[in-house]
Amino acid sequence: MVNALGAEDSSVRLQAALAVGSNPDPGLLETLVERCAVEPDFFVRDMLSWALTRLSPEITLPRIRRELDSERTQARCQALHTLSKIGDGSAWAWITRDMLSDADDEIARTAWRVAVTLVPEDEKKDLADELVGQLGRGDRNVQLSLSRALVDLGDVIEPALEKAATNPDSAVAAHARATELLLQDPRTGFDAAVYEARRVAALGSERAAAAAAAAAAASRGAGTTETAVSTESTEAAKSAETAEC
């Protein structure tokens, strides 16, 4: 089985990890952890993590804890991922500020996810404050991960988001407003929420509301070929386009 977990063919490795998880063997703990650190295939890594969750937390958690200090980025990232799958609250103390703000986006994103999974109720506000400090970071995927993590914390994030929405850094402010929109309505798409946040920032809340009302009125009267458009809504569209650029 050890040889199969290291086979050249990823489908063989995947089947081996599935077999190990289906028949948990504490003797393979070290092999599973080591493979997590070097496995190049995402699906195989996920199956390895699943196999680790099938072992007793009493033996698995201490070994995973050691991986959090590894010099290998993938080892740390996969250890965090496995902790999120195990979901044992005792591991909360291992999630440090350095992990939440790690320079490596994948480490940070995984740390955000596991932190939200493990955080005790009475520490959610402190975690929210910590995560809000990362607003505006990275590309769309990174920002979406952070917004999802914050929204999963619930209403406790509102005060921190309100403050961040006034940040002079436009990227931070827009990300904060977009996250507020997602909190209010999780069905809102992230891209739509970011667009609306930028639009409001460009126009101001009152003008944005007026533009939205004008657009709604135009939509209701869309039976004619030509639709009257107010000067306000025209200016709003131009400002929104500028903000998007």
Q: Which of 203, 200, 157, 201 is nearest to 179 (CA)?
A: 157
Digit-by-digit pLDDT tens for the chain (245 residues) are 888 999 999 999 999 999 999 999 999 999 999 999 999 999 999 999 999 999 999 999 999 999 999 999 999 999 999 999 999 999 999 999 999 999 999 999 999 999 999 999 999 999 999 999 999 999 999 999 999 999 999 999 999 999 999 999 989 999 999 899 888 887 766 666 666 666 655 655 444 444 444 444 544 454 444 443 334 433 433 343 333 33
First-residue to last-residue Cα distance in the chain: 54
- Residue whose token pair is 């050890």: 2
CB neighbours of 20 closer than 8 A, spacing ≥ 6?
A: 1, 5, 28, 32, 51
* Annotation: CATH topology of 1-118: Leucine-rich Repeat Variant (1.25.10)
Which residue stretches of 119-187 are H helix?
124-132, 140-153, 158-164, 170-184
- What are 113's two structure tokens? 């996810």
Which residue stretches of the chain are H helix?
2-5, 10-22, 29-38, 42-53, 57-67, 73-86, 97-100, 105-118, 124-132, 140-153, 158-164, 170-184, 190-203, 205-220, 231-244
Distance separating alpha carbons of residues 46 and 77, to the nearest angstrom? 12
